[in-house]
């Protein structure tokens, strides 16, 4: 009994995605081309993500700041690789009020420029280092094609920017933050991710190297889900960030940056949701439990209120649906909105001393005695749901991960049942471009500490250097 | 023993303000003209403000959303009074990448336009109403003269936007939100405020009327600190927000908006701080207690750690300063940063079974037995500090509030010892303009439910209509 407003994901995945976004009221297009509105249900998920991540950032010594949203052109130009990367896709402010600006400014597509310029004024000695800052904001990239959460002109994100006195310290930060992202995805979003290094072609413009977490959607398409960049001294040389080191010599500092965005909401949808709507893992769901009275019997209402109070007093988020809609309608609404657990309390069940608990992910229903310790029961069930959702995604990923030795195999897979393809690569960009001819297949990441699976590059047949995961992408 | 980096506030208030902002590392100017950077200590205060206010908004049924930061010109033009109000001071985006846009867009100076356009798609029936939304974001106004927190091109704020099915409901919301602001200022910021209605001249462009909270700074200058606007049907007519009412007739909806901003940080500084730096009320201080060991005696360190653990376990935010700086330096640093309570733990005091507690606001020091229940002691002290700070500001406001009956009196006051001037007004804008000739004195608000203090307008001598509070302003 699937939701009628939602196309089946096995019939038309793209339409299914749009239908889920609309049916769960997560976001809608505005009259500003290519820009979305995060509606209350979508923003509540973003707030949960912010809350959990922000705690992890602060526990590891990061501090929040806010930078201006505009970047003057001359400042942007200082880092030439960066501007080449972003120039085609920024919004330019040329007028202030009715006056033409002497110098145009772009709306930040990212803030390496502003942070570097700021760090240059702050950093004098190795004693000042490291500086580990983060900001929550929106950024703007002038994309041509857009899809809610996955790609829109404006999107919401966090960008961490740090500056260190040694290469070792900065490289450690780059790795540590990638691991925080991995932990966040696995523990809260119930999404397993691959981690590795981007190829030169796919790395962030201006970085020495980029580490990435890559997730696989239900339809086998890859999603770059978070990145952590090591800059070495590139920005510190362009922006003159120098400090007196322990030997009392001036040295350019070492930097990193890292970010995840509202795109994660798209990943949540495409990994877990189904033809009935959104499915949210309990650890990230803004509301974890829906309590639905059946009938308005006073015994029912009393137990509904008691259950609600017990849950919220024990830090389980819940709501009671006391509207005058039918129970069936309320069930469907809780389902489409992805509420992980539903408690149905009705007079007939109560006569037998029972209430009904439904889990959103599997649609299973359990009848339990109403004298059960409901808080404990729900918490255990939520742990189970969280774990099961992660494992289900993991098993699917494994079933969609392939080892290939010939291009024809890749072609066969990407055209029929795409996923992560492991294959050896010579390190040459030409071979990446050849691979791209297969439905836009790109390198996701270079796997580290993995045994080679062949000694030849899958494309050119020359000596292989790296084991790479490939995939088609959003 | 005032901080040497800080000019005395009684000698040069403007320089003192800048010095405090710098010495406490709250904000700094960026290389983007007129835009500031919120540094970690400043941003932490903003985060506390967000946390407390957000809770109050959610408890009263408001939901957070995010709107685009850009507004197409045609959308902005729909509400002509609004555009006349903001047109001179917006930033215009005219290029996307390397292409000229067909229609220019401005960076939001405020978002009535976007919310109204969105509401028009959402509102069909009285059953859909009210919609009570809020967003936390930054906005941009092309100001010519800027001062950190008080006026900068970009600033951080929240803007609430609500839509209702009746005038009564919308007017109630307008008042309720003003009261939430008043409560927040008094309970958390320890800043007493006046509330009232703005005159036609001073109201928000496009509003039927504007309610305001007005605070008085140490130097007697007024600060408009938060506003709540009742729009009636102005926007709903311009943006076609119609709903089927209970009589099944199409009716234009009733709207409100309300906002407070990072300007509140400026108010905190100018009401409470002193020549030693920042003074923060405990209820808004990101860190409430500084624990400073004197010497590195193991007995000292043990008690320092024990004290820290006890405090944080009981939801008091604290830090231990274990750097190798001198105790005197650490004391001064805690002072300049406005930490409400300082605990000094040293070997000599411990021999006598004592620790020292210093409060930031009065600089008083107390020696207390170290077996005191430190958590309870600190919590009570913080309550006392919070209360005393509020009362001190309140008494100062009262001493700087005057009743005037002649223009010469106003002139005398504003030139020598400015403050809030209560005076009767005929309701005529010309009289407001006359008043403005006195050092820029403006009406702060019309007091409601107050007895008239005269029957003639203080400016023209004609029949008085309103009791108005006047002041010079930031």
Whether residues A92 and B87 touch (CB distance < 8 A) is answered with no
Partner A contacted by B70 (CB < 8 A)? yes
| Statement: residue B82 has pLDDT above 80 | no
Distance CA A156, CA A158 (A): 7
Per-window interface: B 262-301 vs A, CB < 8 A: none
Output the pLDDT for position A2.
64
Mean pLDDT for the stretch of residues A20-38: 94
Residue of A nearest to B64 (CA): A40
Residue A167 pLDDT exceeds 70: yes
Could you give the percent of chain B with pLDDT greater than 90?
90
Nearest to A43 among B66, B96, B105 (CB): B66
| Interface predicted TM-score (ipTM) | 0.96
| Confidence at B290, pLDDT banded by 50, 70, 90 | very high
Tell me if A160 sits within 8 A of A154, measured CB to CB: no
Q: Given an 8 Å threshold on Cβ–Cβ distance, is B65 in contact with A30? A: no
B59 HSE (CA, 13 A, CB side):
9
Would you state the pLDDT for residue A26?
98
Give the best residue of A25, A28, A32, A240 to mutate against chain B (max B CB count within 10 A).
Answer: A32
What value, to the nearest 5°, has the Cα angle with vertex B18 and ends B275 and B10? 40
Whether B452 contacts chain A with CB within 8 A: no
Mutate to test the interface with B, among A91, A241, A319 (most CBs of B within 10 A): A91
Q: Quick check: A390 pLDDT over 80?
A: yes
Residues of B in contact with A28 (CB under 8 A): 118, 121
Q: Comparing C-alpha atoms, which of B194, B221, B262, B245 is closest to residue B445? A: B194
Is B1 a residue whose pLDDT tops 60? no
Would the CB atoms of B138 and A66 count as touching at under 8 Å?
yes
pLDDT digits (tens, 9 = 90+) for B7-35: 999 999 999 999 999 999 999 998 898 99
The pLDDT tens digits for A178-227 are 999 999 999 999 999 999 999 999 999 889 999 999 999 999 999 999 99
Between CA B109 and CA B173 the distance in angstroms is 23
**Closest CA–CA distance from residue B203 to any residue of chain A (Å):** 21
Distance of CA A239 to CAs A118, A233, A243, A254, B440, Å? 9, 10, 13, 12, 43
Whether the Cβ atoms of residue B33 and residue B306 lie closer than 8 Å to each other: no
**pLDDT category of residue A372 using cuts at 50, 70 and 90:** confident
Give me the pLDDT at residue A295, please. Answer: 87
Q: Cβ–Cβ of B68/A30 closer than 8 Å? A: yes
- Rounded mean pLDDT, B219-229: 98
Residue contact B31–A154, C-beta within 8 A: no
Helix (H) or strand (E) holding A393: helix A374-399
CA-to-CA distance for A258 and A161, rounded, in angstroms?
A: 7
Å between B68 CA and nearest CA of chain A: 6
- A118/B30 touch (CB, cutoff 8 Å), yes or no: yes
**Least confident among A138-152, A270-284, A389-403:** A138-152
Q: Which residues of B touch A121 (CB under 8 A)?
A: 28
Residues of B in contact with A46 (CB under 8 A): 66
Beta-carbon contacts of residue B414 (< 8 Å; ≥ 6 apart):
B421, B438, B439, B441, B472
Output the CA torsion sign for B86, B88, B92, B94. positive
Residue A93 at interface with chain B, using a CB cutoff of 8 Å: yes
What is the pLDDT, as a whole number, of residue B83? 66
**For B397-439, what is each residue's pLDDT tens digit?**
999 999 999 999 999 999 999 999 999 999 999 999 999 999 9
pLDDT at A83: 65
- The pLDDT value given to residue B2: 64
Average pLDDT over residues B159-178: 98
| Binary contact (B32, A118; C-beta < 8 A) | no
- C-alpha distances out from residue B44 to A132, A161, A195, B287, Å: 14, 17, 32, 9
Greater confidence (A223 vs A4) lies with A223
User: Would you call B163 exposed, middle or buried from its count of C-beta atoms within 10 A (0-12, 13-18, 19+)?
Assistant: buried
Once rounded to an integer, what is the mean pLDDT over residues B60-65? 98
Nearest CA-CA partner of A207 in A218, A215, A199, A217? A199
| Angstroms from A371 CA to nearest CA on chain B | 31
CA distances from A63 to A55, A158, A306, A458, B44 (A): 11, 12, 41, 45, 8
| Average pLDDT over chain A, rounded to an integer | 95
For chains A and B, CB pairs below 8 A equal 146
Strand order through the sheet with A341-346? A318-320, A289-294, A341-346, A354-359, A365-369
Contact A418, A219 (CB under 8 A): yes
Helix (H/G/I), strand (E/B), else coil: A373: coil
Name the percent of chain B lying above pLDDT 70.
98
Is there a contact between B329 and B294 (Cβ–Cβ < 8 Å)? no
Contact A446, A428 (CB under 8 A): no
- Of the candidates A43, A92, A98, which has its C-beta nearest B88's C-beta? A98
Q: What is the pLDDT of residue A178?
A: 98
Q: How do residues A36-59 score in pLDDT, each as one tens digit?
A: 999 999 999 999 999 999 999 999
Instruction: Measure the CA–CA gap between B365 and B370, rounded to whole angstroms.
Output: 15
Does B410 contact chain A (CB < 8 Å)? no
Each residue's pLDDT tens digit, A463-472: 999 999 999 9
Bridge partners, B135 (sequence order):
B159
Q: What does pLDDT average to over chain B?
A: 95
Q: What is the pTM of this model?
A: 0.97
Of A37, A40, A72, the CB nearest to B67: A37
Per-residue confidence at A4, pLDDT binned at 50, 70, 90?
Answer: confident
Query: In sequence order, which ranges of B206-273 are alpha helices (DSSP H)?
Result: 234-238, 263-272
pLDDT tens profile B352-386? 999 999 999 999 999 999 888 999 999 999 999 99
Nearest chain A Cα distance for residue B269, angstroms: 19
pLDDT of residue A195: 97
CA distance B53 to A392: 40
Rounded mean pLDDT of A164-179? 98
Nearest in space to A349 (alpha carbons), one of A331, A368, A335, A334: A368
Q: How far is A137 from chain B (nearest CA, A)?
A: 8
Contact B261, B155 (CB under 8 A): yes
Q: In the predicted model, is pLDDT for residue B116 greater than 80?
A: yes
Name the one residue in this structure whose structure tokens are 């509140």. Answer: B264
Choose the mutation target among B65, B111, B154 for the interface with A, i.e. most A CBs under 10 Å.
Answer: B65
Contacts of B64 in chain A (CB under 8 A): 40, 43-44, 47
3-class DSSP state of B335? helix
A74 close contact with B: CB closer than 8 A: no
Indicate yes or no: CB of A66 within 8 angstroms of CB of B37.
yes
């Amino acid at each position: 009994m699937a939701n009628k407003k939602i196309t089946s994901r096995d019939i038309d995945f793209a339409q299914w995605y749009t239908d889920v976004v609309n049916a769960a009221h997560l976001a809608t297009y505005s009259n500003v081309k290519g820009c979305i509105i995060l509606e209350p249900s979508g923003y509540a998920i973003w707030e949960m993500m912010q809350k959990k991540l922000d705690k992890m950032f602060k526990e590891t010594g990061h501090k929040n700041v806010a930078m201006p949203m505009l970047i003057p052109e001359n400042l942007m130009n200082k880092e030439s690789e960066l501007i080449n990367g972003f120039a085609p896709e920024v919004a330019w402010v040329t007028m202030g009020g009715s006056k033409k600006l002497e110098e145009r400014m772009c709306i930040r597509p990212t803030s390496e420029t502003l942070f570097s310029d700021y760090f240059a004024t702050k950093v004098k000695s190795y004693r000042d280092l490291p500086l580990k800052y983060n900001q929550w904001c929106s950024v703007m990239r002038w994309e041509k094609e857009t899809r809610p959460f996955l790609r829109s002109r404006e999107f919401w994100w966090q960008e961490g920017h740090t500056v260190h006195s040694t290469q070792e310290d900065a490289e450690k930060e780059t790795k540590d933050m990638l691991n925080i992202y991995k932990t966040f995805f696995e523990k809260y979003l119930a999404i397993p991710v691959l981690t590795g290094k981007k190829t030169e072609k796919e790395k962030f413009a201006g970085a020495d190297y980029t580490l990435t977490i890559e997730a696989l959607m239900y339809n086998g398409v890859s999603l770059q889900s978070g990145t952590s960049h090591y800059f070495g001294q590139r920005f510190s040389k362009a922006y003159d960030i120098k400090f007196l080191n322990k030997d009392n010599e001036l040295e350019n500092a070492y930097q990193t940056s890292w970010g995840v965005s509202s795109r994660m909401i798209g990943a949540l949808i495409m990994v877990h949701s189904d033809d009935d709507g959104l499915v949210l893992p309990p650890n990230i769901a803004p509301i974890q439990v829906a309590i639905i009275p059946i009938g308005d019997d006073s015994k029912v209402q009393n137990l509904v209120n008691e259950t609600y109070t017990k849950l919220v007093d024990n830090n389980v988020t819940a709501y009671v649906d006391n509207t005058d809609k039918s129970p069936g309608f309320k069930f469907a609404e809780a389902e489409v909105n992805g509420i992980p657990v539903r408690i149905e309390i009705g007079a007939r069940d109560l006569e037998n001393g029972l209430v009904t608990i439904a889990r959103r992910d599997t649609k299973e229903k359990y009848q339990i005695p109403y004298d059960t310790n409901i808080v404990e029961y729900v918490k255990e069930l939520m742990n189970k749901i969280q774990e099961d959702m992660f494992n289900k995604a993991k098993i699917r990923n494994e079933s969609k991960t392939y080892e290939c030795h010939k291009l024809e195999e890749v072609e066969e897979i990407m055209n029929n049942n795409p996923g992560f393809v492991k294959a050896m690569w010579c390190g040459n960009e030409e071979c990446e471009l050849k691979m791209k001819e297969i439905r836009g297949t790109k390198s996701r990441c270079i796997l580290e500490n993995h045994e080679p699976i062949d000694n030849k590059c899958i494309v050119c047949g020359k000596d292989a250097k790296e084991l790479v995961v490939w995939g088609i992408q959003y």
